[in-house]
Structure 1
Amino acid sequence: MATMKLSPCANVHTCRAKTAGVVRASYSAFRLISRPNVNPIGKRLQQLSASTATPLPSLAPPATSSADAVDASGKLTFHGVHHVALICKELERSLEFYQGVLGMEINPDRPHHKLPYRGAWLWIGPEMIHLMELPNPDPAENSKRPEHGGRDRHFCVGMASLDALAEKLDKAGITYTRSMSGRPAIFFRDPDANCLECVELAPWR
């Protein structure tokens, strides 16, 4: 293997002078590269470094705009029904109906201690019913409401089996009517005359 032969300095002073010259030249080159406003080569190196560097992920929340609230045609974007609010006279009586008869479960993540009235949130599929113990501005007696709930204010929910529901309503002594249009649907009222419609169909979400 060939080896590089280094020529010795003539004396110590000569070696020191050569070393100092190399250091000064290196420092001058570094200053030119690190000052892009003076040296175009340094400017180009900084541009290349910036273009090839991997950007850090942003921790800021994604930017939103009013355009996100409308679709391509300019219509408002709705996601679905979040909950239905029902007025009740006695919360415990309503919970006995919705939990005891219909088997709905309370959503514990929606506490009521921040509201100025008693109430409860009940799961009904992916949505909720909000029971509110408040004075009812509507007649709360079935005799003062339309006999068929389909002709009164009501909300409709889909379910797997009307036969199973009818069996529970019959066992609890709750009156109900079937849809007059022939659809597989049942209308009935809670203890405060709020009307529910249940229709038998396959899941649509």
Structure 2
Amino acid sequence: MKLNGIHHVAIICSDYEKSKRFYTDILGLKVINETYREDRKSYKLDLAVGDKYQIELFSFPKAPKRPSYPEARGLRHLAFEIDSIEQAIKELTDKNIAVEPIRIDEITGKKFTFFSDPDDLPIELYEKYI
């Protein structure tokens, strides 16, 4: 089997409208497609991350809560590559998003930090690896 890349990351949210605003207005992701599935009482929102990747944002009635911190078992976090960590942090804090202090990757020497989405999903910003 040859894997060509990651097609998408799927996220189930607790408040669809709040998460939709966060991913589109705060993070600036572009809506590719939005579908309401009456039989499931569920939305599916396809979001573009750059020109190569996608996030699928789902809403399901009464979705169970999941532990959400970087060291919990399962998906650890969602990470986005950025050009300037300082500029990204400024943009987030200007929108009242709390951001952790900058850390340095001990292996690559690159800067990174974490913040959370409306459901406390850990999101990492990682400075471009050159």
TM-score by length of 1: 0.51
* Contiguous gaps of at least 5 residues in structure 2: none
Structure with greater proportional strand content = 2
Alignment coverage as a number of residue pairs? 118
Q: Which amino acid aligns with 2:95?
A: A
| Bigger radius of gyration among the two | 1
Q: RMSD value over aligned CA atoms?
A: 2.2
Counterpart of 1:101 (choices 11, 26, 32) is 26
Q: Distance in 2 between matches of 1:160 and 1:136?
A: 35
Determine whether 1:181 maps to 2:96: no
Q: Is the 8 A contact 1:88 1:136 kept in 2?
A: no
TM-score by length of 2: 0.77
Matches within 5 A, 1:7-156: 76-108=1-33, 111-113=34-36, 116=40, 117-125=42-50, 126-134=52-60, 135-139=63-67, 145-146=68-69, 149=70, 151-152=71-72, 153-156=76-79
Q: Is the 8 A contact 1:88 1:133 kept in 2?
A: yes
**Deviation of the 1:137 alpha carbon:** 3.3
Q: Which structure is higher in RCO with an 8 Å CA cutoff and minimum separation 6?
A: 2
Matched with 2:123 is: 196
Q: Is the 8 A contact 1:87 1:192 kept in 2?
A: no
* Contiguous gaps of at least 5 residues in structure 1: 1-75, 140-144
- Stretches (4+) displaced over 4 A: none
Specify the SS of the correspondent of 2:125.
strand
TM-superposition CA deviations, 1:161-203 (whole Å, max 9, x none): 2122101211122122233535311211100111111111158
